[in-house]
Protein backbone atom coordinates (compact mmCIF):
# COMPACT_ATOMS: atom_id res chain seq x y z
CA UNK A 1 0.00 0.00 0.00
CA UNK A 2 1.50 3.32 -1.11
CA UNK A 3 2.33 5.60 1.80
CA UNK A 4 0.87 8.52 -0.16
CA UNK A 5 -2.63 7.02 -0.17
CA UNK A 6 -5.04 9.55 1.37
CA UNK A 7 -6.12 7.24 4.20
CA UNK A 8 -2.48 6.50 5.06
CA UNK A 9 -1.49 10.15 5.22
CA UNK A 10 -4.55 10.96 7.32
CA UNK A 11 -3.93 8.07 9.71
CA UNK A 12 -0.26 8.90 10.28
CA UNK A 13 -1.12 12.56 10.84
CA UNK A 14 -3.87 11.64 13.30
CA UNK A 15 -1.57 9.37 15.30
CA UNK A 16 1.20 11.99 15.40
CA UNK A 17 -1.23 14.73 16.44
CA UNK A 18 -3.00 12.60 19.09
CA UNK A 19 -6.39 12.93 17.33
CA UNK A 20 -8.30 9.71 18.10
CA UNK A 21 -11.42 10.76 16.17
CA UNK A 22 -9.41 11.56 13.05
CA UNK A 23 -7.63 8.20 13.37
CA UNK A 24 -10.98 6.41 13.41
CA UNK A 25 -12.16 8.35 10.35
CA UNK A 26 -8.96 7.45 8.50
CA UNK A 27 -9.38 3.82 9.49
CA UNK A 28 -12.97 3.76 8.26
CA UNK A 29 -11.80 5.26 4.97
CA UNK A 30 -9.17 2.54 4.62
CA UNK A 31 -11.71 -0.21 5.33
CA UNK A 32 -14.05 1.34 2.78
CA UNK A 33 -11.21 1.23 0.25
CA UNK A 34 -10.78 -2.54 0.93
CA UNK A 35 -7.34 -2.14 2.50
CA UNK A 36 -6.22 -5.29 4.31
CA UNK A 37 -6.56 -4.81 8.11
CA UNK A 38 -2.96 -5.94 8.66
CA UNK A 39 -1.74 -3.10 6.41
CA UNK A 40 -3.73 -0.60 8.47
CA UNK A 41 -2.07 -1.97 11.61
CA UNK A 42 1.36 -1.82 9.96
CA UNK A 43 1.11 1.85 9.05
CA UNK A 44 -0.42 2.76 12.41
CA UNK A 45 2.28 0.85 14.32
CA UNK A 46 5.13 2.46 12.40
CA UNK A 47 3.67 5.95 12.81
CA UNK A 48 3.19 5.22 16.52
CA UNK A 49 6.66 3.81 17.09
CA UNK A 50 8.49 6.70 15.45
CA UNK A 51 6.68 9.36 17.46
CA UNK A 52 5.62 7.88 20.81
CA UNK A 53 6.94 9.35 24.04
CA UNK A 54 8.36 6.19 25.63
CA UNK A 55 9.74 7.92 28.71
CA UNK A 56 9.00 6.38 32.06
CA UNK A 57 5.51 7.12 33.36
CA UNK A 58 3.81 7.60 29.99
CA UNK A 59 1.27 5.18 28.54
CA UNK A 60 2.07 2.68 25.79
CA UNK A 61 -1.50 1.39 25.64
CA UNK A 62 -1.62 2.01 21.89
CA UNK A 63 1.16 -0.51 21.32
CA UNK A 64 -0.62 -3.11 23.47
CA UNK A 65 -3.86 -2.42 21.61
CA UNK A 66 -2.33 -2.72 18.13
CA UNK A 67 -0.62 -5.98 19.06
CA UNK A 68 -3.85 -7.38 20.48
CA UNK A 69 -5.92 -6.23 17.51
CA UNK A 70 -3.76 -7.84 14.84
CA UNK A 71 -3.86 -11.14 16.74
CA UNK A 72 -7.59 -11.00 17.48
CA UNK A 73 -8.30 -10.80 13.74
CA UNK A 74 -7.48 -14.52 13.51
CA UNK A 75 -10.59 -15.33 15.51
CA UNK A 76 -13.00 -13.29 13.39
CA UNK A 77 -14.79 -13.93 10.15
CA UNK A 78 -13.35 -11.85 7.26
CA UNK A 79 -16.29 -9.44 7.28
CA UNK A 80 -15.53 -8.10 10.76
CA UNK A 81 -11.75 -8.54 11.00
CA UNK A 82 -11.12 -4.77 10.86
CA UNK A 83 -13.22 -4.14 14.01
CA UNK A 84 -10.46 -4.47 16.67
CA UNK A 85 -8.05 -2.64 14.38
CA UNK A 86 -10.33 0.40 14.20
CA UNK A 87 -10.55 0.52 17.97
CA UNK A 88 -6.80 0.04 18.44
CA UNK A 89 -5.75 2.85 16.11
CA UNK A 90 -7.85 5.30 18.11
CA UNK A 91 -6.01 4.27 21.27
CA UNK A 92 -2.69 4.56 19.44
CA UNK A 93 -3.57 8.11 18.47
CA UNK A 94 -4.50 9.05 22.03
CA UNK A 95 -1.09 8.26 23.57
CA UNK A 96 1.37 11.12 24.13
CA UNK A 97 3.69 11.80 21.16
CA UNK A 98 6.91 13.72 20.80
CA UNK A 99 7.32 16.68 18.45
CA UNK A 100 9.32 15.81 15.34
CA UNK A 101 12.38 17.67 16.61
CA UNK A 102 12.47 15.65 19.85
CA UNK A 103 12.07 12.15 18.41
CA UNK A 104 15.12 9.94 19.04
CA UNK A 105 17.44 9.28 16.13
CA UNK A 106 17.51 5.59 15.24
CA UNK A 107 20.99 4.07 15.48
CA UNK A 108 21.93 0.43 14.87
CA UNK A 109 25.06 -0.99 16.50
CA UNK A 110 26.69 -3.82 14.58
CA UNK A 111 28.93 -6.52 15.97
CA UNK A 112 29.36 -10.15 16.92
CA UNK A 113 26.07 -11.45 18.29
CA UNK A 114 27.29 -12.88 21.61
CA UNK A 115 29.04 -9.59 22.37
CA UNK A 116 25.90 -7.65 21.46
CA UNK A 117 23.71 -9.77 23.75
CA UNK A 118 26.05 -9.21 26.69
CA UNK A 119 26.17 -5.47 25.98
CA UNK A 120 22.38 -5.34 25.65
CA UNK A 121 21.88 -7.07 28.99
CA UNK A 122 24.26 -4.63 30.67
CA UNK A 123 22.48 -1.62 29.12
CA UNK A 124 19.07 -2.87 30.30
CA UNK A 125 20.32 -3.42 33.84
CA UNK A 126 22.12 -0.09 33.93
CA UNK A 127 19.17 1.87 32.55
CA UNK A 128 21.09 3.04 29.48
CA UNK A 129 18.13 3.66 27.16
CA UNK A 130 19.99 4.91 24.08
CA UNK A 131 22.55 2.11 24.22
CA UNK A 132 19.90 -0.55 24.78
CA UNK A 133 17.77 0.51 21.80
CA UNK A 134 20.79 0.82 19.49
CA UNK A 135 22.24 -2.54 20.50
CA UNK A 136 18.89 -4.31 20.23
CA UNK A 137 18.46 -2.91 16.72
CA UNK A 138 21.80 -4.52 15.89
CA UNK A 139 20.55 -7.86 17.22
CA UNK A 140 17.66 -7.88 14.74
CA UNK A 141 17.75 -8.80 11.08
CA UNK A 142 15.26 -7.15 8.74
CA UNK A 143 12.43 -9.53 7.92
CA UNK A 144 13.55 -12.26 10.32
CA UNK A 145 12.85 -13.29 13.88
CA UNK A 146 16.04 -13.50 15.95
CA UNK A 147 15.31 -15.94 18.74
CA UNK A 148 18.53 -15.09 20.57
CA UNK A 149 17.44 -11.45 20.82
CA UNK A 150 14.11 -12.53 22.28
CA UNK A 151 15.76 -14.92 24.71
CA UNK A 152 17.94 -12.26 26.30
CA UNK A 153 15.13 -9.68 26.32
CA UNK A 154 12.60 -11.95 28.03
CA UNK A 155 15.16 -13.20 30.53
CA UNK A 156 16.15 -9.75 31.73
CA UNK A 157 12.66 -8.27 31.89
CA UNK A 158 11.44 -11.44 33.62
CA UNK A 159 13.59 -10.54 36.61
CA UNK A 160 11.83 -7.21 37.19
CA UNK A 161 8.29 -7.32 38.61
CA UNK A 162 7.85 -3.56 38.86
CA UNK A 163 4.18 -2.58 38.42
CA UNK A 164 2.97 -6.16 38.38
CA UNK A 165 5.42 -7.35 35.75
CA UNK A 166 4.46 -4.89 33.04
CA UNK A 167 7.93 -5.04 31.46
CA UNK A 168 7.48 -8.67 30.39
CA UNK A 169 3.98 -7.96 29.06
CA UNK A 170 5.24 -4.99 27.02
CA UNK A 171 8.13 -7.05 25.63
CA UNK A 172 5.96 -10.01 24.65
CA UNK A 173 3.25 -7.85 23.09
CA UNK A 174 5.75 -5.86 21.04
CA UNK A 175 7.44 -9.06 19.87
CA UNK A 176 4.10 -10.55 18.85
CA UNK A 177 3.23 -7.38 16.93
CA UNK A 178 6.52 -7.32 15.05
CA UNK A 179 6.17 -11.02 14.30
CA UNK A 180 2.61 -10.63 13.02
CA UNK A 181 3.84 -7.90 10.66
CA UNK A 182 6.68 -10.04 9.31
CA UNK A 183 9.50 -8.20 11.14
CA UNK A 184 9.49 -5.44 8.54
CA UNK A 185 11.01 -2.46 10.40
CA UNK A 186 11.16 -4.64 13.46
CA UNK A 187 13.81 -2.45 15.07
CA UNK A 188 11.49 0.55 14.86
CA UNK A 189 8.47 -1.37 16.19
CA UNK A 190 10.45 -2.73 19.16
CA UNK A 191 12.14 0.58 19.93
CA UNK A 192 9.56 2.10 22.29
CA UNK A 193 9.36 -1.04 24.41
CA UNK A 194 13.14 -1.37 24.66
CA UNK A 195 13.22 2.26 25.80
CA UNK A 196 10.53 1.55 28.37
CA UNK A 197 12.11 -1.58 29.86
CA UNK A 198 15.66 -0.20 29.88
CA UNK A 199 15.16 1.58 33.19
CA UNK A 200 17.33 -0.63 35.35
CA UNK A 201 16.08 -3.46 37.56
CA UNK A 202 13.54 -1.74 39.81
CA UNK A 203 11.84 -4.60 41.70
CA UNK A 204 13.81 -7.83 41.95
CA UNK A 205 12.46 -9.02 45.31
CA UNK A 206 10.49 -11.87 43.74
CA UNK A 207 13.47 -12.88 41.61
CA UNK A 208 15.74 -13.04 44.64
CA UNK A 209 13.16 -15.16 46.46
CA UNK A 210 12.99 -17.59 43.57
CA UNK A 211 16.76 -17.85 43.23
CA UNK A 212 17.13 -18.43 46.97
CA UNK A 213 14.66 -21.34 46.96
CA UNK A 214 16.13 -22.57 43.67
CA UNK A 215 19.54 -22.87 45.29
CA UNK A 216 18.29 -24.45 48.53
CA UNK A 217 16.36 -27.12 46.62
CA UNK A 218 19.38 -27.84 44.36
CA UNK A 219 17.25 -27.74 41.22
CA UNK A 220 18.66 -29.14 37.99
CA UNK A 221 17.32 -26.49 35.61
CA UNK A 222 18.06 -28.47 32.46
CA UNK A 223 16.23 -31.53 33.82
CA UNK A 224 13.01 -29.57 34.26
CA UNK A 225 12.70 -29.19 30.51
CA UNK A 226 12.32 -32.95 30.09
CA UNK A 227 9.54 -33.27 32.67
CA UNK A 228 6.43 -34.90 31.23
CA UNK A 229 4.21 -35.44 34.26
CA UNK A 230 0.66 -34.02 34.37
CA UNK A 231 -0.55 -31.62 37.04
CA UNK A 232 -3.59 -33.57 38.18
CA UNK A 233 -5.02 -34.72 41.49
CA UNK A 234 -2.56 -34.27 44.34
CA UNK A 235 -0.03 -32.46 42.14
CA UNK A 236 -2.61 -29.87 41.03
CA UNK A 237 -3.87 -29.42 44.58
CA UNK A 238 -0.32 -28.90 45.83
CA UNK A 239 0.31 -26.22 43.20
CA UNK A 240 -2.95 -24.44 44.03
CA UNK A 241 -2.06 -24.57 47.73
CA UNK A 242 1.31 -23.01 46.91
CA UNK A 243 -0.42 -20.20 45.00
CA UNK A 244 -2.25 -19.39 48.23
CA UNK A 245 0.84 -19.82 50.41
CA UNK A 246 1.43 -17.64 53.48
CA UNK A 247 4.65 -16.17 52.07
CA UNK A 248 6.51 -15.79 48.77
CA UNK A 249 9.09 -18.28 50.02
CA UNK A 250 6.45 -20.94 50.74
CA UNK A 251 4.82 -20.34 47.37
CA UNK A 252 8.10 -20.65 45.50
CA UNK A 253 9.09 -23.75 47.44
CA UNK A 254 5.77 -25.50 46.80
CA UNK A 255 5.87 -24.84 43.06
CA UNK A 256 9.51 -25.84 42.70
CA UNK A 257 8.91 -29.08 44.64
CA UNK A 258 6.12 -29.90 42.19
CA UNK A 259 8.53 -29.37 39.30
CA UNK A 260 11.18 -31.50 40.98
CA UNK A 261 8.54 -34.20 41.31
CA UNK A 262 8.21 -34.38 37.54
CA UNK A 263 5.34 -31.99 36.70
CA UNK A 264 5.82 -30.72 33.15
CA UNK A 265 6.40 -27.02 32.67
CA UNK A 266 3.38 -26.65 30.39
CA UNK A 267 1.24 -28.58 32.88
CA UNK A 268 2.26 -26.08 35.55
CA UNK A 269 1.49 -23.23 33.13
CA UNK A 270 -2.00 -24.63 32.54
CA UNK A 271 -2.75 -24.71 36.27
CA UNK A 272 -1.42 -21.18 36.76
CA UNK A 273 -3.33 -19.68 33.81
CA UNK A 274 -6.53 -21.50 34.74
CA UNK A 275 -6.30 -20.24 38.31
CA UNK A 276 -5.72 -16.68 37.07
CA UNK A 277 -8.72 -16.94 34.72
CA UNK A 278 -10.96 -18.35 37.45
CA UNK A 279 -10.09 -15.44 39.70
CA UNK A 280 -11.11 -12.93 37.02
CA UNK A 281 -14.30 -14.88 36.31
CA UNK A 282 -15.04 -14.98 40.06
CA UNK A 283 -14.41 -11.30 40.73
CA UNK A 284 -17.42 -9.18 41.54
CA UNK A 285 -15.64 -6.03 40.40
CA UNK A 286 -13.43 -4.99 37.50
CA UNK A 287 -10.08 -5.62 39.19
CA UNK A 288 -7.08 -4.46 37.14
CA UNK A 289 -4.59 -6.30 39.34
CA UNK A 290 -6.41 -9.62 38.89
CA UNK A 291 -6.78 -9.05 35.14
CA UNK A 292 -3.12 -8.09 34.96
CA UNK A 293 -2.14 -11.38 36.61
CA UNK A 294 -3.98 -13.32 33.89
CA UNK A 295 -2.35 -11.26 31.14
CA UNK A 296 1.06 -11.80 32.75
CA UNK A 297 0.48 -15.55 33.08
CA UNK A 298 -0.44 -15.74 29.39
CA UNK A 299 2.75 -13.85 28.46
CA UNK A 300 4.81 -16.17 30.67
CA UNK A 301 3.31 -19.24 29.02
CA UNK A 302 4.11 -17.79 25.59
CA UNK A 303 7.75 -17.25 26.61
CA UNK A 304 7.85 -20.87 27.76
CA UNK A 305 6.81 -21.94 24.25
CA UNK A 306 9.02 -19.40 22.46
CA UNK A 307 12.34 -19.98 24.18
CA UNK A 308 14.53 -23.05 24.58
CA UNK A 309 16.85 -21.54 27.18
CA UNK A 310 16.94 -22.65 30.81
CA UNK A 311 15.67 -19.23 31.92
CA UNK A 312 12.35 -19.64 30.09
CA UNK A 313 10.78 -20.97 33.29
CA UNK A 314 11.49 -17.73 35.19
CA UNK A 315 8.41 -15.73 34.03
CA UNK A 316 6.16 -18.70 34.85
CA UNK A 317 7.50 -18.85 38.40
CA UNK A 318 7.07 -15.09 38.67
CA UNK A 319 3.42 -15.57 37.62
CA UNK A 320 3.00 -17.93 40.57
CA UNK A 321 4.29 -15.32 43.01
CA UNK A 322 2.12 -12.66 41.41
CA UNK A 323 -0.99 -14.78 41.98
CA UNK A 324 0.04 -15.49 45.56
CA UNK A 325 0.16 -11.76 46.28
CA UNK A 326 -3.54 -11.34 45.43
CA UNK A 327 -6.74 -12.46 47.20
CA UNK A 328 -7.54 -16.02 46.11
CA UNK A 329 -11.10 -15.46 44.93
CA UNK A 330 -12.28 -18.76 43.54
CA UNK A 331 -15.95 -19.71 43.16
CA UNK A 332 -17.84 -22.21 41.06
CA UNK A 333 -20.12 -20.86 38.35
CA UNK A 334 -23.48 -22.55 37.82
CA UNK A 335 -24.13 -24.60 34.72
CA UNK A 336 -27.52 -23.42 33.43
CA UNK A 337 -30.08 -24.95 31.14
CA UNK A 338 -29.10 -24.34 27.54
CA UNK A 339 -31.82 -24.11 24.88
CA UNK A 340 -29.75 -23.56 21.74
CA UNK A 341 -26.49 -21.89 20.86
CA UNK A 342 -27.92 -18.81 19.16
CA UNK A 343 -30.27 -18.10 22.05
CA UNK A 344 -27.58 -18.32 24.70
CA UNK A 345 -25.26 -16.07 22.69
CA UNK A 346 -28.02 -13.46 22.42
CA UNK A 347 -28.57 -13.71 26.18
CA UNK A 348 -24.85 -13.16 26.79
CA UNK A 349 -25.02 -9.99 24.70
CA UNK A 350 -28.03 -8.77 26.69
CA UNK A 351 -26.33 -9.43 30.02
CA UNK A 352 -23.13 -7.67 28.93
CA UNK A 353 -25.13 -4.63 27.80
CA UNK A 354 -27.10 -4.62 31.06
CA UNK A 355 -23.99 -4.97 33.22
CA UNK A 356 -25.12 -8.33 34.61
CA UNK A 357 -21.62 -9.71 35.03
CA UNK A 358 -22.36 -12.89 37.00
CA UNK A 359 -25.15 -13.84 34.60
CA UNK A 360 -22.92 -13.23 31.56
CA UNK A 361 -20.15 -15.35 33.08
CA UNK A 362 -22.49 -18.22 33.94
CA UNK A 363 -23.99 -18.22 30.46
CA UNK A 364 -20.53 -18.25 28.85
CA UNK A 365 -19.50 -21.04 31.23
CA UNK A 366 -22.59 -23.04 30.31
CA UNK A 367 -22.03 -22.48 26.60
CA UNK A 368 -18.53 -23.98 26.75
CA UNK A 369 -19.22 -26.74 29.28
CA UNK A 370 -22.03 -27.99 27.06
CA UNK A 371 -19.55 -28.34 24.20
CA UNK A 372 -20.66 -25.45 21.98
CA UNK A 373 -18.00 -24.15 19.56
CA UNK A 374 -15.37 -21.94 21.16
CA UNK A 375 -15.07 -19.85 17.99
CA UNK A 376 -18.67 -18.63 18.18
CA UNK A 377 -18.29 -17.31 21.72
CA UNK A 378 -14.88 -15.72 21.13
CA UNK A 379 -16.06 -13.93 18.00
CA UNK A 380 -19.12 -12.64 19.81
CA UNK A 381 -17.08 -11.36 22.77
CA UNK A 382 -14.62 -9.58 20.48
CA UNK A 383 -17.54 -7.93 18.68
CA UNK A 384 -18.98 -6.79 22.03
CA UNK A 385 -15.56 -5.53 23.09
CA UNK A 386 -15.32 -3.42 19.95
CA UNK A 387 -18.43 -1.50 20.96
CA UNK A 388 -16.33 0.15 23.67
CA UNK A 389 -14.87 3.58 23.10
CA UNK A 390 -11.43 4.87 24.17
CA UNK A 391 -12.82 6.54 27.29
CA UNK A 392 -13.72 3.22 28.94
CA UNK A 393 -11.78 0.01 29.52
CA UNK A 394 -11.12 -0.57 25.83
CA UNK A 395 -7.34 -0.80 26.12
CA UNK A 396 -7.39 -3.20 29.06
CA UNK A 397 -10.08 -5.36 27.47
CA UNK A 398 -8.28 -5.65 24.14
CA UNK A 399 -5.24 -6.99 26.01
CA UNK A 400 -7.42 -9.30 28.09
CA UNK A 401 -9.21 -10.56 24.98
CA UNK A 402 -5.91 -11.43 23.31
CA UNK A 403 -4.85 -13.44 26.36
CA UNK A 404 -8.26 -15.12 26.67
CA UNK A 405 -8.42 -16.14 23.01
CA UNK A 406 -4.82 -17.39 23.09
CA UNK A 407 -5.37 -19.54 26.16
CA UNK A 408 -8.65 -20.95 24.85
CA UNK A 409 -7.32 -21.96 21.43
CA UNK A 410 -3.52 -22.11 21.14
CA UNK A 411 -2.60 -24.94 23.51
CA UNK A 412 -3.59 -28.62 23.82
CA UNK A 413 -4.94 -27.90 27.31
CA UNK A 414 -7.57 -25.30 26.46
CA UNK A 415 -8.42 -22.89 29.28
CA UNK A 416 -12.17 -22.46 28.81
CA UNK A 417 -12.30 -20.25 31.90
CA UNK A 418 -10.42 -17.52 29.99
CA UNK A 419 -13.32 -16.50 27.66
CA UNK A 420 -15.63 -16.71 30.68
CA UNK A 421 -13.37 -14.22 32.45
CA UNK A 422 -13.55 -11.95 29.40
CA UNK A 423 -17.35 -12.10 29.36
CA UNK A 424 -17.53 -11.04 33.00
CA UNK A 425 -15.01 -8.22 32.54
CA UNK A 426 -16.93 -6.85 29.55
CA UNK A 427 -20.15 -6.81 31.57
CA UNK A 428 -18.38 -4.97 34.39
CA UNK A 429 -16.91 -2.32 32.09
CA UNK A 430 -18.44 1.16 31.70
CA UNK A 431 -20.54 1.44 28.56
CA UNK A 432 -18.70 4.10 26.57
CA UNK A 433 -19.91 3.89 22.97
CA UNK A 434 -17.85 6.71 21.49
CA UNK A 435 -17.34 6.16 17.77
CA UNK A 436 -19.45 3.00 17.68
CA UNK A 437 -22.38 4.31 15.56
CA UNK A 438 -20.07 4.97 12.57
CA UNK A 439 -18.46 1.54 12.97
CA UNK A 440 -21.78 -0.26 13.34
CA UNK A 441 -23.12 1.47 10.24
CA UNK A 442 -20.24 0.02 8.25
CA UNK A 443 -20.29 -3.52 9.65
CA UNK A 444 -23.84 -4.09 10.80
CA UNK A 445 -24.97 -6.32 13.68
CA UNK A 446 -23.24 -9.56 14.72
CA UNK A 447 -24.30 -12.66 12.84
CA UNK A 448 -26.17 -14.21 15.77
CA UNK A 449 -28.86 -11.52 15.71
CA UNK A 450 -30.12 -12.51 12.29
Evaluate whether residue 41 is within a structural domain: yes
Last residue of a domain, one of 197, 219, 246: 197
Tens digit of each residue's pLDDT (9 = 90 or more) over 166-189: 999 999 999 999 999 999 999 999
Evaluate whether residue 331 is within a structural domain: no
Q: Are residues 433 and 406 in the same domain?
A: yes
Task: For residues 55 and 60, give the distance between their C-alpha atoms in angstroms, rounded to a whole number.
Answer: 10
Decide: 120 and 152 in contact? Cβ < 8 Å.
yes
Q: Are residues 89 and 139 in the same domain?
A: no
Tell me whether residue 228 is exposed, middle or buried, using C-beta atoms within 10 angstroms of its C-beta: 0 to 12, 13 to 18, 19 or more: exposed
pLDDT of residue 285: 94
pLDDT of residue 106: 84
Q: Are residues 274 and 316 in the same domain?
A: yes
Give pTM, 2 decimals: 0.96
Q: In 259-327, which ranges are E strands?
A: none
Q: Are residues 354 and 439 in the same domain?
A: yes
Evaluate whether residue 330 is within a structural domain: no
Give the residue numbers spanning the domain of 12: 6-102
Burial 22-61 (b: 16+ CB within 10 A, else e): bbbbbbbbbbeeebebbebbbbbbbbbbbbbbbeeeeebb
Q: Are residues 359 and 313 in the same domain?
A: no
* 421, 423, 427, 429 alpha-carbon torsion, rounded to 10°: 60
Evaluate whether residue 335 is within a structural domain: no
Evaluate whether residue 52 is within a structural domain: yes
pLDDT bin (cut points 50, 70, 90) of residue 409 is: very high
Q: Are residues 133 and 189 in the same domain?
A: yes
Tens digit of each residue's pLDDT (9 = 90 or more) over 56-104: 778 899 999 999 999 999 999 999 999 999 999 999 999 999 999 999 8
Q: Are residues 215 and 307 in the same domain?
A: yes
Q: Are residues 346 and 434 in the same domain?
A: yes
Nearest to 404 by CA among 382, 435, 427, 428: 382
Evaluate whether residue 429 is within a structural domain: yes
Instruction: Report the CATH number at residue 74.
Output: 1.20.272.10
Last residue of a domain, one of 102, 121, 142: 102
Burial 343-382 (b: 16+ CB within 10 A, else e): ebbbbbbebbeeebbbbbbbbbbbbbeeebebebbbbbbb
Total tally of structural domains belonging to the chain: 4
Quote the mean pLDDT of the chain: 93
Last residue of a domain, one of 175, 197, 219: 197
**Average confidence (pLDDT) over 103-126:** 91
DSSP 45: H
Decide if pLDDT at 414 tops 70.
yes
Q: Are residues 354 and 437 in the same domain?
A: yes
Q: Are residues 220 and 287 in the same domain?
A: yes
pLDDT of residue 4: 63
Evaluate whether residue 1 is within a structural domain: no
Task: For residues 406 and 401, give the distance between their C-alpha atoms in angstroms, rounded to a whole number.
Answer: 8
Q: Are residues 30 and 85 in the same domain?
A: yes
Evaluate whether residue 398 is within a structural domain: yes
Amino acid sequence: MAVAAPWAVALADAIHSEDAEAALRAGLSAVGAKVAPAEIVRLAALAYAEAIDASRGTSLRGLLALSSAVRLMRHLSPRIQPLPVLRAIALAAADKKLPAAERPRRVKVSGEISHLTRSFEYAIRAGEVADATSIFSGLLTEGKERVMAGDILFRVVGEDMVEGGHKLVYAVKAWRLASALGWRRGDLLMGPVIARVATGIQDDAAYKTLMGIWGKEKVDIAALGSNAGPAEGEERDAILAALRGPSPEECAKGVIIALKGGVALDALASVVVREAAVRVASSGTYDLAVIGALVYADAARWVLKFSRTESRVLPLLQACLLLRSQPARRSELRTLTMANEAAILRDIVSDIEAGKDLEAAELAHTFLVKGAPMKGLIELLIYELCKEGPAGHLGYNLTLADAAAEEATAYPSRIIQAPVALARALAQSPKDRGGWPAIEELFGPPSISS
